[in-house]
Structure 1
Amino acid sequence: MLHPIQTGVCFVVLVTSALAQTFAVPATKPASAARVDSALLSLSLEFFAFPGYTQVTSTSVCMNHIATLRGHAPAVRIGGTTQDRATYSLNLAEAVNYTVASSADAPTSLTFGPSFFSLAAGLKGADVTIGLNRQLNNMANSLQAAVQAKNSMTNLYAIEIGNEPDLYGSGSPIITTGTWSPIADGQSEQSWQNAMSSSTGDIFQAGVYLSNSWNIPSLITTLGSAIRHTKTFSRHSYPQSACNGASTNLPSLMSHSSIVTYVAQYASEASAVHAAGKQYFLGETNSATCGGGGISPTFGAALWIVDYVLQGALHGVDRLYFHQGTIGNCAYCFWGRFTTGAPFYGVYFVSQFLGTDGVSIVMLDSGTSSLATYVVYSSAGAPLRALIYNSAYYDGTTTRSSAIVTLTGLSNTGKQSLRLTAPAATSRVDEGAAVTIGGLTFDGNCNSVGSETVEVVSASGGEAIVSVKASEALIVFL
């Protein structure tokens, strides 16, 4: 949702900087600019939890914020680990049925009925991908569910058969003979797509791999002629792990140079998928596996989202689907029953930067330091906004450094800027910290509180100079 923007006092740089850089803003879109999908930042909702998310007020409110800022609703993928534990029941009245010992647990098995798809059909304006079970090797059941989805949902975008098949174990019913391998999985995906497509159409999402040793280019080869049934390819991506007591590291997560290096690994897969005439998604992603560790609810994770999304676009990722897991037991979730978390501020801020008019982006920095600088361009090739992110880690215990950034090649009229800030990278909204976008905050239902105040930046001689503190980001309106 757009909000009134108030103008603050003229911003004057008076701080001592640990870093100073100058970037020339190209007056017209460079040939290297990367296209930005209208649903670049999208959402993945855990399968069993999806009906519950439709009952949480903040789900629709947060999604509407993104839709308003971008001019297109975020796409939604409904899937995850529990899609491969789910059995469709045509006669089930409820959307889902399962039993758990605690509300914080995910079910080991569940059934779902036709009303599941009615709820999905209610995600108006969103492209919805439905994940269905392949691990249990019951194609007839999954096909029945797929046909129900097709008949119930005008917003059905794709059907995903199986979640992270690279993790299927020896007890998985789909493994009927021999050793489960990328080739065996590719042949299985080929068989299922060939058998189901006459009833569903050519709308399958293939791959869905987490392990980097299982790669999409090899799957493309194995699919062979069945690729005509494939609409999209999905890769899952988590930079860190919080599984089985693994430790996480916030400075590493939010480091600009680390993000650049990490996302670059997907460029070749994206190129192969695009060469095949398909779209390439990070179809499930977030900061750390197993619901996220202590890093995931922090302001640093919000800053990571901003940089990570833009790097995704620069390396050929069409959409990034940020996973939302068990409601009330999900450190990386953007919202839940009581709190709109710090990460959502990053979601909102990067959506503001891209806007309804941004169609392509470039990175002006080298990708090797703590300072990131991006420019978004209009369809006419004109620069609209610059985003500066200082990924130097600040934990609130020492003097906070700043970077001085000079943008050149601008008109001499005054500019406005909007600041995403918090007391420290470790700040958490659920612990009472003040995370703000120009002073704007969100309540527990994701409603905006207050109005944004922009800072006035003087521009002369075609230059504008701004200061960005460590663990902070700034949008400059060009």
Structure 2
Amino acid sequence: MARFSVILATLVWLCHVRAVAVPSSPPSGAVSVDPSLVSISIEFFAFPGYTQMSGTNNCLNNLASLRNAQPAIRIGGTTQDRATYNASLASAVNYTVSSPLDAPTSLTYGPSFFSLASQMQGQVTVGLNRQLNNQANSLSAAQRAKSSMGNLYAIELGNEPDLYSSSSPIASGTGWSNSIDIQNEAKWFTALAPSLGNIFQGAVYLSWNTQTLISSIGSAALNTIKTISRHSYPQSACGGASTNLPNLMSHSGIVSYVSQYKAEATAAHNDGKKFFLGETNSATCGGGGISPTFGAALWIIDYVLQSALIGADRLYFHHGTIGNCAYCWWGQNNVYSPYYGAVFVSEFLGADGAKIAALDNGSSAIATYAVYSSSNTPLRLLVLNSNYFDSTGSRSSASVQFTGLATASGTKQAKRLTAPNATSRTDQGAAVTIGGGGTFSSTCARQGTENTESVAVGGNALTVSVLASEALIVYL
């Protein structure tokens, strides 16, 4: 009877182990990965302030060290369409707000704005004003950017024109629509290209699709477009809207959400354009209660990889008003929980990661991925358990058996990203860790000790267990 009980318990355990075959070379769904896949967007008016924080360079350099490539930077957002260039202004920006937590309704900026931008280590996309309909002013700013920025990658004209209205100056009192915007983009691009080159980032839409732009803007304007930018926020925190962390971090939900961009990425690539989620984060309007949590860190990992798989070349995670930004990765005196996800996915991709593949069908809460070298050898595996745990009740665990490994027996090493629960926030003292003890100082310097765990290999297979709301990298 005792032997039967042992056999039964073993069979029950095996039923709960997910068996995942690891292809010896990238499968058909694998995609190449841009070295700057994880990139940063910074709100226009706040950009100079970010350059004054030591955390900015440290956080960016941490990511760069893992990928051997600097994150790209996009400077833009709502306030780029409130900004007027002043070539005589001594300061980088000039504006007045009633509270330092507010964004200005209007601002001016000067040549030193671009001097600061030129010091960023990664490729920089600059967003300039189109909504105020002052083409000469934006051209003057763009010319200054081009002459002073050796790292200038692209220029976008206008932010989310799908939110412009008939009262916007650009509408000139004649109304505003997708078709009018496309005509206007074409007019601006073709007028400015002779002075600037074919350097424009097109679309920059939150809701309109980019296929319409590509098919309707005309060949002359299309030739001036270097990249296509789509803005993406899975949830909204605007106007008191409620946010939902279990939905945000759900693996199957992420797979479903990013699928909407596949056709747009394909259209851009078919026309030789890079396709970016050029401004993205967890929730609009600075992020809601979900945004500073460890669950958002897990969302970042899964969201980055799934977005790459449907064709997004880069994701630019937006950073807004300093001190009033729930979804930011760092601030004046803190490194927030989501940054740990950005670091962990960057470590999974690594400096040697060339292609990624999903090893699950996207229908459950357990995500599994593999990253491959340029010689098509599997390098690392990732398991993410997106089941939501908020410290209520017992914390479940998922076991995944990876089969088909090149190694027949021995041990492999694994590194774990964990926290007490999905709602854990580093700014509230929660212990979010990489490798059991790795954290970041208030200025984003790596600190503590990151340890790995030994995983036994037998019969060309290994098994790992990952708690709900946790992630693990296996090094092959």
TM-score bracket for this pair, using the shorter chain length:
over 0.9
How many Å separate the matches in 2 of 1:376 and 1:179? 49
Q: How many angstroms apart in 2 are the aligned matches of 1:240 and 1:384?
A: 34
Secondary structure of 1:29's counterpart equals: coil
Amino acid in the other structure paired with 2:447: V
1:302 and 2:297 correspond: yes
2:427 is equivalent to residue 430 of structure 1: yes
Structure 2 distance, partners of 1:388, 1:236, is 27
Q: Which amino acid aligns with 1:146?
A: A
Q: In 2, are the aligned partners of 1:299 and 1:422 still within 8 Å (CA)?
A: yes
What secondary structure, in the 3-state scheme, does the structure 1 residue paired with 2:127 have? strand
Deviations 1:36-55 (A, max 9, x none): 10000100000000000000
1:407 matched to 2:405: no
1:461 corresponds to 2:455: no
Q: Does 1:451 align with 2:446?
A: no
Residue 167 (str. 1) matches residue 163 (str. 2): yes
Normalization by structure 1: what TM-score? 0.95
Q: Distance in 2 between matches of 1:443 and 1:260?
A: 33
Is 1:381 the counterpart of 2:379 in the alignment? no
Q: Kindly indicate whether the alpha-carbon contact (under 8 Å) linking 2:166 and 2:174 is maintained by their aligned counterparts in 1.
A: no
Q: Which residue of 2 aligns with 1:215?
A: 209
Structure 1 position 473 matched with structure 2 position 467: no
Which letter does structure 1 place at the counterpart of 2:451?
Answer: T
Report the secondary structure of 1:169's partner residue. coil
Give TM-score scaled by structure 2 length: 0.96
- Which of 234, 237, 246 does residue 232 from structure 2 map onto? 237
Structure 2 match to 1:83? 80
Pick the aligned partner of 2:191 from 192, 195, 198. Answer: 195
* 1:170 positional shift: 2.3
Deviates most, 26-35 or 47-56: 26-35
- SS of the equivalent of 1:466 reads strand
2:288 aligns with 293
1:147 equivalent among 139, 143, 149: 143
What is the deviation of 1:19?
4.4
**Does 1:156 find its partner at 2:152?**
yes
Higher relative contact order (CA 8 A, sep 6+): 1
Question: What per-residue deviation string (whole Å, max 9, x for no partner) do you get for residues 363-401 of structure 1?
Answer: 010100000000000000000000000000000121000
Match of residue 6 from structure 1: none
Whether the 8 Å CA contact 1:19–1:402 is kept in 2: the answer is no
CA change 1:433–1:16 in 2 (3 A) is farther
Quick check: 1:137 aligned with 2:133?
yes
Q: How does 1:275-424 map to 2 (within 5 A)?
A: 275-410=270-405, 411=407, 412-424=409-421
Return 172-181 or 352-361, whichever deviates more.
Answer: 172-181
Distance 1:306 1:32 in 2: 18
Task: Report the 3-state secondary structure (helix = DSSP H, G, I; strand = E; otherwise coil) of the residue aligned with 1:433.
Answer: coil
Within 5 Å, give how 1:96-135 maps onto structure 2. 96-124=93-121, 126-135=122-131
Deviations 1:275-301 (A, max 9, x none): 001000000000000000000000000
Please give the secondary structure, in 2, of the residue aligned with 1:398: coil
Whole-Å separation in 1 of the counterparts to 2:26 and 2:424: 36
Whichever residue aligns with residue 347 of structure 1, its letter is: A
1:175-194 → structure 2 map (5 Å cutoff) = 175-194=171-190
Give the partner amino acid of 1:332: Y
After superposition, the C-alpha distances for 1:313-350 in whole angstroms (9 at most, x for unaligned) are 00000000000000000000000011100000000000
Q: Equivalent residue for 2:3?
A: none
Query: CA contact under 8 A between 1:18 and 1:401: conserved in structure 2?
Result: no
Alignment length (residue pairs): 462
1:413 CA displacement = 3.0
In structure 1, distance between residues paired with 2:177 and 2:349: 40
Conserved? CA contact 1:207–1:233, under 8 Å: yes
Q: CA deviation at 1:443?
A: 1.2
Distance 1:215 1:304 in 2: 24
Q: Distance in 2 between matches of 1:343 and 1:206?
A: 29
Give the aligned residue type for 1:28: S
1:270 Cα deviation after fit: 0.2
Which residue does 2:40 correspond to in 1?
Answer: 43
- 1:452 aligned counterpart, secondary structure: coil
Is there any run of 5+ residues in structure 2 with no aligned partner, and where?
A: 1-9
1:82-119 Cα offsets, whole Å, 9 max, x none, are 00000000000000000000000000000000000000
- In structure 1, the gaps of 5 or more residues are 1-12
- Of 57, 62, 65, 2:62 maps to 65
Deviation at 1:305, TM superposition (A): 0.1
Whether 2:23 is the aligned partner of 1:26: answer yes
Instruction: State the partner residue of 1:7.
Output: none
Secondary structure of 1:356's counterpart equals coil
Percentage identity across aligned positions? 63
SS at match of 2:462: strand
Check conservation: 1:18, 1:403, Cα contact below 8 A. Answer: no
Task: Please report how far the alpha carbon of residue 28 of structure 1 lies from its aligned counterpart in structure 2 after TM superposition.
Answer: 1.3
Change (3 A) 1:300 1:279: same
Do 2:391 and 2:421's aligned partners in 1 also have CA atoms closer than 8 Å?
yes
CA-atom RMSD in angstroms: 1.3
Counterpart amino acid of residue 174 in structure 1? I
Letter in 1 for 2:117: A
Counterpart secondary structure, 2:410:
coil
Separation in structure 2 between the aligned mates of residue 19 and residue 344 of structure 1, nearest angstrom: 32
Secondary structure of 1:453's partner?
coil
Runs of 4+ that moved beyond 3 A:
15-19
| Pairwise CA distance, 1:17 | 9.5
Distance 1:469 1:341 in 2: 21
Q: What amino acid is the match of 2:169?
A: P
Shift of 1:34: 0.8
